[in-house]
């Protein structure tokens, strides 16, 4: 047993622990699509109930604690909180610090990964496309501005008034996401950011970059990229945008800080 104690058939390079909202059906499949040979993805779920309210986000943040502890027992190498809005509607630094302590490994959150990705691409002004209601859209704008980014525009679908509508974010067709991103874009924006880990954005990133002539960041793409680079893995992952293809340098915890 000592000879194989470091071996994992589906994670011999790295094992990524992913905490997803219980209603999310997009994050895990997209992480597996991006994972190069030797990188495994192992998920735990945090209960998400009700409409998009501050209270629902706080309750989900509390549920991440046991999820992180579960992933720690799976001997993952990093834990990622795969909820963009959930990690800016609650204090991100406190949330990540708690996950790190409970899992016993490095931790990050989707919204922090977006910050790191925008910085790696040299973005100063960003156009934002979201599925969220106005409460969440306002906070997302504030969050990005707190980290030094100018928000040229923010276009939201206003989904999340009920739990069923919140689930419906995972049913938005990629073709509609493509059009949403183009609606949000502005000539002065250095990049477009498609927010939400439950939006099936992965398959339209490359087409959007070709058609808009600028980088496109999506929540799952940025979160997976940050996990890889935080672990010191410099694999280029083709087909899902310039971030995964060209930004190969390792990052440390300072990449996520104000």
* pLDDT tens per residue, range 117-141: 999 999 999 999 999 999 999 999 9
Does residue 227 lie within any of the structural domains? no
Query: Considering the domain boundaries, does residue 45 fall inside one?
Result: no
Residue 1: per-residue pLDDT = 63
Residue 43 lies in a domain: no
Residue 163 lies in a domain: yes
Task: Evaluate whether residue 176 is within a structural domain.
Answer: yes
Q: At residue 40, does pLDDT exceed 90?
A: yes
Give the Cα separation of 76 and 140 in Å (integer).
29
Report the CATH number at residue 143: 3.40.50.1860
Q: Which residue has the tokens 């790190």?
A: 100
Q: What phi and psi values does residue 15 have, to the nearest 5 degrees? A: -115, 115
The whole-number pLDDT of residue 5 equals 82
Query: By residue range, what is the domain housing residue 195?
Result: 112-220
Phi, psi for residue 37 in degrees, rounded to 5: -55, 130
Note whether residue 26 is domain-resident. no
Residue 221, class by beta-carbon neighbours within 10 Å (0-12 exposed, 13-18 middle, 19+ buried)? Answer: buried
- Per-residue pLDDT reduced to its tens digit, 66-86: 999 999 999 999 999 999 999
**CA-closest candidate to residue 147, choices 169, 172, 124, 170:** 124
CA distance 193 to 215: 9
Work out how many domains the chain is built from and give that number. 1
d(CA 95, CA 76): 18
Closest CA to 16 of 203, 179, 231, 160: 231
Query: Does 79 map to a domain?
Result: no
202 CB-side CA count, 13 A = 24
Return the C-alpha torsion angle 197, 94, 251, 83, nearest 10.
Answer: 0
pTM: 0.97
């Amino acid at each position: 047993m000592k000879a194989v104690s470091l071996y994992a058939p589906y994670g011999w390079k790295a094992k990524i622990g992913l905490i997803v909202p219980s209603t999310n059906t997009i994050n895990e499949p997209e992480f597996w699509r991006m994972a190069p040979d030797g990188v495994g993805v192992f998920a735990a779920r945090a209960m998400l109930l009700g409409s998009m309210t501050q209270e629902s986000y706080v309750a989900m943040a509390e549920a991440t604690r046991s999820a992180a502890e579960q992933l720690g027992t799976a001997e993952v190498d990093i834990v990622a909180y795969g909820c963009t809005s959930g990690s800016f509607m609650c204090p991100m630094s406190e949330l990540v610090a708690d996950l790190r302590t409970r899992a016993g490994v490095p931790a990050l959150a989707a919204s922090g990964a977006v910050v790191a990705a925008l910085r790696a691409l040299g973005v100063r002004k960003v156009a934002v496309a979201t599925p969220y209601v106005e409460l969440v859209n306002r906070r997302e704008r504030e969050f990005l501005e707190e980290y030094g980014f100018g928000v040229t525009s923010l276009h939201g679908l206003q989904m999340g008034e009920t739990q069923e509508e919140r689930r419906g974010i995972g049913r938005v067709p990629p073709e509609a996401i493509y059009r949403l991103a183009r609606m949000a874009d502005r000539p002065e924006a250095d990049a477009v950011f498609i927010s939400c880990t439950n939006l099936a954005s992965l398959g339209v990133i490359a087409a959007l970059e070709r058609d808009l002539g600028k980088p496109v960041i999506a929540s799952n793409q940025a979160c997976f990229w940050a996990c890889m680079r935080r672990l010191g893995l410099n694999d280029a992952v083709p087909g899902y945008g310039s971030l995964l293809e060209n930004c190969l340098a390792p990052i440390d915890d300072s990449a996520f800080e104000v």
